[in-house]
Structure 1
Amino acid sequence: MDQDKILTFVVPAYNMQTYLKRCLNALLASPDNVDVEVLVVDDGSTDGTLAVAQDYQRRFPGIVRAIHQENKGHGGAVNTGIAEAAGMYVKVVDADDWVGASSLAEVLDVLRRQRDSDDPLDMLVTDYVYDKVGRKHKHVVDFSKVMEANRRITWDDLGDFGIAQYIIMHALTFRTEVVRMSGMTLPEHTFYVDFIYSYQPFPWVKSIYYLSTPFYHYFIGREGQSVQTDVMIRRVQQLCRVNRQMLTATPEATDEGVTPGLYRYMIHFLAIESSITTVFLILSRDSNNYRVQKELWNNIREYSPTIYRDTRGKLVSRAMNLPGPAGRFCVRVGYRIANMILGFN
């Protein structure tokens, strides 16, 4: 690893010609970016995405690198970026998203202080913004109620997360070696692998630093986006696939090195992803998917009765598994209300 590079941005890009320039301009906004690396992984695009990336590579030699590969999906593109990253730290930024310039300066300042440390931070957490199409008010997700800012902390220092609150990929910057030590390989041609990315490396994270700044801007609501409700219903089996990989990455509370705070958070997150999958199985109104819903929770119980007990006992899990047609009706209504308030789809 080239330790001259403090941060690698991995930019998975498939047919993102329209948005890629905005993303790259934001990542390159720092006047002092010689120690920043931007890897644009063109995932077999059929538009001008690769040409845009190659143009930036020519304009920013030694900083931007265009990597072309046959289409492997978002997970395959992230895998390539992680394997190629030269930076001490790595952050995934989707090609239709961007970062804030002032926040970028703050993030680089924190990371640069780790360069000569004998015990560098394993994970940086920052806030993110839902930049939804057509909405003037932008919802900012911050973690000030669950972790203290500007201080090195551990999993055991975290507070209690809300019923639907969790640390997603957009909030995370990992030490690159942590991701590699975790052995994480994201499934190819599969959507929603960001759940895995935001989960599997955690047992290798021993130190956390929270910087309360709206770093990541999550562009949401464009036509055909993978988080639109109808799209997620069609791809609900991929959510099930993601759930299975998350389950096998979940440690037992008694495993060596697993602290109470780490186990508590991972169970919380597993319960949320399992419940999200359950919601879309219910929203499909497909009786076959109702059976898949039962199988999902049975699989957790078969894998580990303890993990099942702790996951299924969470309030969010109980709320998403209300019995019978009346229970499914309540889930559908609750989803519509939450979507109207938060605008997450």
Structure 2
Amino acid sequence: MEKLLSISIATYNSAIVINECLDSIVKSKYIELIEVLVIDDGSKDNTRDIVQTYVKKYPKSVFLVKKDNGGYGSTVNISMQMATGKYFKTVEGDDWVNTKGLDKLIERLNKLDVDIIVNNYEEIVNDKKKYVDINNRNQYNKILNFNEINKKQVFRIQSMTIKLDIIKLIKYKISEHRFYVDSEYVFFSMIYAKNIIFLNDIVYQYRLGQDGQSVSIDNISIHFKDLMYIIEKLLGIYCEVEDNIQDKSKKIYLIKNINILYRDLYHWFMIMKKIDNYKVLKDFDIRMNRLYSNHIKKMNFGYYRFIRINHYIFLKLFRYIRNFRKILSIKG
């Protein structure tokens, strides 16, 4: 039977949580229409043994790929090449899906022919769920082109299901051995997509607050240069494809995605425990202005723009203000 949806699951030492992830998928009443590609990124625990039990029980739906450690990007690169379903979705091994929401998604995919499907999702912190409305006032259940989408729209990998035909058009590899590469996946998909539909069913269950997550302050302090690398890479790719993109609205969204990453970078320098690397940020800004000045001018940095005037002074000032407000909130 042909598969309707390929789900890429990235695992690394996920033995404690991988059952929850896989159970949420194989319990779907449409499991025969789903291809589950579990890409194990060199786990040292018994993740592979656990996954193998699902392979034996669901041999036509669950597949295990063993590989040396290459980071999240390497798992997505492999699964994009292997996938055979009409649509493609990524799930991290320590997250899971809402099974009923997945069933509804499958039912919709069976009737749709659209490049990107966007669902709302939930964040889970210490077993408490937070509803994330990714829609941003766009019309539900209608296929839209980029010109019809709210200009404030932000796309997240957790919300996206993408037509495999679009995935196969991507000529760029997602960076390996780096953090924050989900932004590349979203960006690359948007280059080739022509239309989008927003659905209000919740599918993805995004677990936050875990030790070692890429968004933790400790990891941000260690891996902020990965984000710099990705910003520069995406700006370079945008310059390559810009002239071939006729849709002005799509150009707006592509630049906006890079803009958001750039603002995140400034925010990280404000919350990192040390600011000894402020010169690294200054040198990065100088290089981006030299290489991509016209595109940087189109970005909205908000009050972060003052940092670009004097990195050392304004980083210290903003950090002081932020810490002072935190103290006041604690006292309050």
Q: Normalising by structure 1, what TM-score? A: 0.87
Q: Structure 2 stretches of 5 or more lacking a match?
A: 328-332
Deviation sequence 1:284-338 (CA, Å, 0-9, x none)? 4655521221233333333333211102x44375376474555224543677799
Q: For each residue in 1:101-120, what CA deviation from the matched residue of structure 2 results, as whole angstroms up to 9, or x when unmatched?
A: 22112211121113xxxxx3
Provide the residue aligned with 1:156 in structure 2.
147
Superposed CA RMSD in Å reads 2.6
Give the aligned residue type for 1:129. Answer: E
Q: Alignment partner for residue 318 of structure 1, among 270, 291, 305? A: 305
Q: Which structure carries more helix by proportion?
A: 2
Correspondence for 1:105 among 93, 96, 103: 103
Residue aligning to 1:242: 230
Q: Is the aligned partner of 1:123 residue 2:120? A: no
Q: Which residue of 2 aligns with 1:20?
A: 18
CA separation in 2, counterparts of 1:243 and 1:15? Answer: 29
Query: Counterparts of 1:177 and 1:298 in 2: how far apart (Å)?
Result: 38
1:171 counterpart = 2:155: no
Rounded Cα–Cα distance in structure 2 between residues aligned with 1:105 and 1:168: 21
Following superposition of structure 1 onto structure 2, how do residues 45-64 of structure 1 map, counting pairs within 5 Å? 45-64=43-62
User: Does the CA-based 8 Å contact 2:235-2:292 persist in structure 1?
Assistant: no
Counterpart of 1:83? 81
**Aligned partners of 1:98 and 1:129: how far apart in 2?**
10
Identity %: 24
Instruction: Choose from 222, 231, 236 the match for 2:219.
Output: 231
- Offset at residue 7 of structure 1 (A): 0.4
Q: Name the CA shift for 1:333/1:56 in 2 (closer, same or farther; >3 Å).
A: farther
Give the Å deviation of 1:184.
2.8
Residues 250-303 of structure 1: CA deviation (Å, up to 9, x unaligned): 258962333121111122211110121222234446555212212333333333
Equivalents in 1 of 2:63, 2:283: separation in Å? 44
Given that residues 175 and 181 in structure 2 are in contact (C-alpha distance below 8 angstroms), is that contact kept between their aligned partners in structure 1? yes
Structure 1: gaps (5+ residues): 115-119, 341-345
Partners of 2:304 and 2:130 lie apart in 1 by 25
What are the residue-to-residue correspondences of 1:1-345 with 2, within 5 Å? 4-114=2-112, 120-133=113-126, 136=128, 138-161=129-152, 166-251=154-239, 255-284=243-272, 289-311=277-299, 313-315=300-302, 317-318=304-305, 321=308, 323-325=310-312, 327-329=314-316, 331-332=318-319
Q: How many residues align?
A: 327
Kept after mapping to 2: 8 A contact 1:40/1:66: yes
What is the alpha-carbon distance in structure 1 between the residues aligned to residue 237 and residue 326 of structure 2? 29
Q: 1:219 to 1:103 in 2, by over 3 A?
A: same
Given the two structures, how large is their TM-score scaled by the length of structure 2? 0.90
